[in-house]
Chain A
Amino acid sequence: EVQLVESGGGLVKPGGSLRLSCAASGFTFSSYSMNWVRQAPGKGLEWVSSISSSSSYIYYADSVKGRFTISRDNAKNSLYLQMNSLRAEDTAVYYCARASPPRYCSSTSCPDYWGQGTLVTVSS
């Protein structure tokens, strides 16, 4: 069974930093692209970042470019999101999501499995 478990969320002051982690199990992590998607309270889904299976391709939304860094450790079956210079508008539930197999979506996005999310609140 595919499982994605996020951790690292919490309350942080504007300008602060936070590192999110996602522990993956139930599939060959090193074979899949991974994503971070966020959802502000009461709002829609916002794609944040994607990373290919070997970290060769990395993409960011303009809203986080230069402030957030996605990375992965295939030996540890883990995905990370380093978030710096946090702003109030970064307040959201952050989901770790696995990209669909290439034979289905041919993309580093198009997530088919999602974690339960971790809440990040940026407030003074």
Chain B
Amino acid sequence: DIQMTQSPSSLSASVGDRVTITCRASQGISNYLAWYQQKPGKVPKLLIYAASTLQSGVPSRFSGSGSGTDFTLTISSLQPEDVATYYCQKYNSAPFTFGPGTKVDIK
């Protein structure tokens, strides 16, 4: 099975900072990669699918890139409401594995 890893596991940044999270697949998955945001105590929310397509209603400060095995989620200007854990998920074929998550908070 394809394994999904994320780095870093956590980060602390200042409001307005550019934040980048990396997701890596152990084998190529083309662009079948989604990103989710889970705020504390809340349900996960789909942010990005097809590696780079923003889900409707998601702020434009979020962006995704990558293909094959290496992917990134970028928050161009971190806001207080972005405090959350971010997960990637591969969906090219089962098992539809999630990455271990990256916890983002404000410095």
Contacts and interface: CB of A to CB of B under 8 A. Distances in A.
Contacts of A59: 94-96
Interface string B88-107: 01011011111111000000
A109 interface: yes
A110 B96 CA distance: 8
Interface residues of B, number: 26
Nearest to A107: B91
A6 B49 CA distance: 25
Interface of A: 35, 37, 44-47, 50, 59-62, 95, 100, 104-112, 114-117
B34 A47 contact: no
A110 B101 contact: no
Given A44-B87, A62-B1, A114-B43, A104 B96 contact: no
